[in-house]
């Protein structure tokens, strides 16, 4: 029915805590094709990282409640608690991860080389069955494969433009710079030759001067190697620079998904319009969006943006079904912006002046 690589369908989940149940994700749908580079954008706290973590299987289990929906990667059910062996084969091998904070994502008491070796011991593209053996603590790393993996490691470190890879592998994480650590993270994400790389705001912890370099490198290498990338970011500029398409999230709902051109030139959801207008370089200068992101403990029914939306009507109390204003363009709104109408665009941008 579909040739999608990653298929998140109607995912609703939340966490129960002392303050009650937090409805974080509400019916999120996200499809990715092989080789696609997709930005997942939204404000801080809109559920981007939760969605990425759900795909990676690293949400805190004890408080997590999945209320509905599925995550399938290339046929594997990534949410099922019975398919853990299949998930283990996928994670780190078919789907890899670039974390937000390269400073704390390396284990501080092992050398970089030990950590890269450990990854390749289990997740080398040469290892047919990427699953977990019965006794991982007593499983050997076959010597011949180790030697070939070593070649891969060195050439990949060179491709992420790390000077003197041999020396870097001998160092401890605290002995290399943040930029180098993030290059190492990219290298580690590429080494298993995955089909999908999930990059969770990979440059927010870095100096502004090297953010663009790192993102450019990620795009180039992923494209060369045919890996799809899901890039969560709150920076629309970097999304524009490197993504093929963009999915916008607001307060745990996906509101719009579009190819990058349609997203920037013909946004259909009022929130997307506001988001674009709020950029410093946007049409109205720097503008905010009045109101606040709703509480996850007691979210508004239907479209969660409705309380802040100038176009909201009584209809918006039910969640809109997806509509398709253009090729590959999806929006969930009863009153989308008409892309053809300049007046409407101006209305959106100028509403709060």
Determine, following the binding rule CB under 8 A, whether residue 182 of this chain makes contact with another protein.
Answer: no
Residues 6+ apart with CB under 8 A from 326: 258, 262, 266, 339
Q: Characterise 69 by phi-psi region: left (phi > 0), alpha (psi -120 to 50), beta (else).
A: left
Total number of residues that touch another protein (CB under 8 A): 34
Q: How many CB atoms lie within 10 A of CB 216?
A: 13
In the complex with another protein, the residue whose CB is nearer, 93 or 152, is: 93
Q: Does 97 bind another protein (CB under 8 A)?
A: yes
Can you tell me the distance from the alpha carbon of 247 to that of 244, in angstroms, rounded to the nearest whole number? 11
Binding mask 61-90 for another protein (x = CB under 8 A): ---------------------------xxx
**15 forms part of the interface with another protein (CB under 8 A):** no
| The one among 73, 122, 250, 305 contacting another protein by CB under 8 A | 122
Using the rule CB under 8 A, which residue among 91, 308, 329, 332 binds another protein? 91
From 109, 144, 208, 314, residue interacting with another protein (rule: CB under 8 A): 109
Query: Which of the ranges 56-64, 280-288, 312-320, 339-347 carries the binding residues for another protein, by CB under 8 A?
Result: 56-64
Find the shortest distance in angstroms from Cβ 96 to another protein: 6
Taking CB under 8 A as the rule, does residue 342 contact another protein? no
Determine the Cα–Cα distance for residues 333 and 344; give it in Å rounded to an integer. Answer: 15
Closest distance between another protein and the C-beta of residue 181, in Å?
Answer: 12
Angle at 284 between CA 283 and CA 287, to 5 degrees: 125
Tell me the C-alpha distance between 198 and 231, whole Å. 6
Q: Which is nearer to another protein, 183 or 274 (CB)?
A: 183
- The three-class DSSP label of residue 86 is helix
Q: Is 99 in the site for another protein (CB under 8 A)?
A: yes
Q: How far is the CB of 189 from another protein (least distance, A)?
A: 8
Tokens of 185: 């993270």
User: Per rule CB under 8 A, is residue 130 in the interface with another protein?
Assistant: yes
Question: Is residue 93 involved in binding another protein (CB under 8 A)?
Answer: yes
Q: What is the dihedral of CA 300, 306, 312, 318, to 10 degrees?
A: -50
Residue 98 φ then ψ, to 5°: -115, 115
Alpha helices in the chain (DSSP H): 48-56, 84-90, 112-123, 143-159, 165-170, 178-190, 208-225, 236-242, 260-265, 270-277, 342-350
Indicate whether 141 belongs to the interface with another protein (CB under 8 A): no
DSSP code of residue 91: B
| 155-174: contacts with another protein (CB under 8 A) | 172, 174
Applying CB under 8 A, which of residues 77, 101, 193, 241 lies at the interface with another protein?
A: 101
Considering the complex, what minimum distance in angstroms separates the CB of residue 158 from another protein?
A: 21
> What residues contact 295, with CB distance under 8 A and at least 6 apart?
none
Q: Cite the DSSP H helix spans in 91-177.
A: 112-123, 143-159, 165-170
115 or 264: CB nearest another protein: 115
One residue of 4, 96, 232, 253 binding another protein per CB under 8 A: 96
Task: Find, among 89, 222, 231, 211, the residue nearest to 156 by Cα.
Answer: 222
Q: Of the candidates 12, 29, 105, 223, which one interacts with another protein according to CB under 8 A? A: 105
Provide the binding-site residues for another protein, judged by CB under 8 A.
53, 56-58, 88-93, 96-97, 99, 101, 104-110, 118-119, 122-123, 130, 132-133, 136-137, 172, 174, 188, 198
């Amino acid at each position: 029915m579909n040739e999608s690589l990653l298929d998140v369908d109607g995912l609703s989940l939340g966490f129960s805590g002392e303050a009650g149940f937090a409805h974080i994700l509400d019916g999120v749908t996200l499809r990715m094709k092989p080789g696609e580079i997709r930005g997942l954008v939204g404000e801080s706290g809109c559920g981007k990282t939760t969605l990425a973590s759900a795909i990676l299987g690293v949400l805190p289990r004890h408080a997590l409640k999945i209320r509905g929906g599925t995550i399938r990667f290339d046929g594997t059910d990534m949410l099922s608690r019975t398919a853990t062996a299949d998930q283990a084969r996928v994670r780190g091998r078919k789907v890899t991860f670039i974390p937000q904070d390269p400073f704390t994502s390396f284990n501080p008491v092992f050398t970089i080389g030990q950590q890269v070796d450990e990854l390749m011991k289990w997740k080398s593209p040469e290892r047919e069955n990427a699953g977990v053996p019965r006794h991982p603590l007593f499983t050997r790393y076959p010597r011949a494969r180790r030697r070939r993996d070593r070649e891969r490691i060195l050439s990949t470190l060179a491709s992420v433009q790390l000077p003197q890879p041999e020396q870097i592998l001998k160092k401890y994480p605290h002995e290399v710079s943040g930029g180098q650590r993030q290059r190492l993270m990219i290298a580690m994400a590429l080494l298993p030759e995955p089909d999908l790389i999930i990059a969770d705001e990979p440059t927010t912890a870095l100096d502004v001067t090297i953010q663009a370099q790192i993102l450019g490198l990620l795009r180039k290498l992923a494209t060369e190697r045919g890996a799809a990338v899901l890039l969560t970011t709150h920076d629309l500029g970097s999304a524009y620079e490197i993504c093929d398409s963009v999915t916008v999230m607001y307060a745990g709902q996906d509101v719009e998904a579009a190819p990058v051109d349609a997203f920037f030139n013909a946004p259909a959801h009022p929130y997307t319009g506001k988001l674009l207008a709020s950029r410093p370089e946007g049409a109205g200068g720097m503008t905010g969006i009045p109101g606040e992101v709703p509480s996850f403990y007691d979210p508004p029914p239907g479209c969660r943006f409705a309380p802040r939306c100038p176009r909201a009507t009584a209809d918006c109390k039910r969640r809109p079904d997806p509509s398709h204003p253009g090729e590959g363009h999806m929006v969930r709104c009863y009153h989308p912006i008409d892309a053809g109408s300049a007046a409407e665009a101006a209305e959106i941008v100028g509403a709060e002046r």
